[in-house]
Amino acid sequence: IGSLVSVVKASAFEGFSRLLLGKEKQPDIFYPDQGLAGKLDLPQVHCATVSSLKLEEDRFYSFESSGVDVIDMECSAFFAAAGHVTLKAAAVLYVSDVIKAKPFYQPLDESSQKVLSSSLSRGVNLLCALSKANTND
């Protein structure tokens, strides 16, 4: 919890009905701008974008065997939209829970809350510095 990561590949699993019924198809894959993402000095992860965080537990082993490192609800759509309008995009996520070990629906202890707050501040500072450095690109 609290780790900052850079998404280098986002698999689109947003179809709720398909996910609920276990009828997953090969997901569409979306990528960040390589130049922009390459400037992020963070661990690189493969993200699965889902439409239900609760269903992520049921699909945990499937995601794990597919090389998915993190789960979110927006990243593939964000990359797809940026690509559609030809804008550069990158994603920095902070890890707020751990499937099965520290699920999102369990309250965080005070220590974990402080770690998340610090992580959020680091992420904001990183993105502000990156934005400032790329205003002339």
134 vs 40: which has the higher pLDDT: 40
Give per-residue pLDDT as tens, 56-109: 888 888 888 989 999 999 999 999 999 999 999 999 999 999 998 899 999 999
Q: Which residues contact 43 (CB under 8 A, 6 or more apart)?
A: 3, 4, 5, 6
Predicted local distance difference test score (pLDDT) of residue 114: 96
C-alpha distances in angstroms, 83 versus 32, 49, 75?
A: 8, 16, 12
Percentage with pLDDT > 90 across the chain: 62
pLDDT over threshold 80, residue 137: no
Name residue, tokens 């559609």: 84
Q: What is the DSSP letter of 98?
A: B
Under DSSP, is residue 39 helix (H, G, I), strand (E, B) or coil?
Answer: coil
Which pTM was predicted? 0.86
Give per-residue pLDDT as tens, 38-51: 999 999 999 999 98
> If you average pLDDT over every residue of the chain, what do you get?
89
Predicted local distance difference test score (pLDDT) of residue 33: 94
C-alpha distances in angstroms, 101 versus 5, 9, 82, 98, 135?
A: 19, 24, 33, 5, 40
Q: Are 37 and 8 in contact (CB under 8 A)?
A: yes
Predicted local distance difference test score (pLDDT) of residue 125: 94
Predicted local distance difference test score (pLDDT) of residue 18: 66
